[in-house]
Amino acid sequence: MADLSHIHGQDLTVSATGGLLLTSGTEHGQQRVIRRLMTNPGDDQWTPEYGGGAPAFVGSTASADRIRAAFLKQMRMEATVDQSVAPRVTVSAQPNGTTTATVEYRDAQGVTSRTIIPMGDR
């Protein structure tokens, strides 16, 4: 199913003909996963359980296990993720002092995707 193309943190994308760009398939799923993980729980008033809370982890003392658990919970709720294959989340400190979470999953089309969520300094 096609949906509006919207990369988290950016404006809606305009097509070459001036209309709003649509996305579907694997790209649609990637956009949904990033948006879900980058949304804080409670920010969506209609679905308060939506959101992995990546922005809330910036500057926090949350453990890698807590971040991993929050992201895995959200991946289990995401419709574009194939639930027959467990997603993997790896949280790691980078040499520059920042933290990233690498999320690997298979989407509903059977394509394996890898998304890196930067979480800044912790």
Q: Tell me the mean pLDDT in the region 16-45.
A: 92
Q: Is the pLDDT of residue 23 over 90?
A: no
Contact 88, 104 (CB under 8 A): yes
3-state secondary structure of 76: helix
**Straight-line distance from the first to the last Cα atom of the chain, in angstroms, rounded to the nearest whole number:** 38
For 60-112, write each residue's pLDDT tens digit. 888 999 999 999 999 999 999 999 999 999 999 888 888 899 999 999 999 99
Residue 23 to residue 29: CA distance in whole angstroms: 9
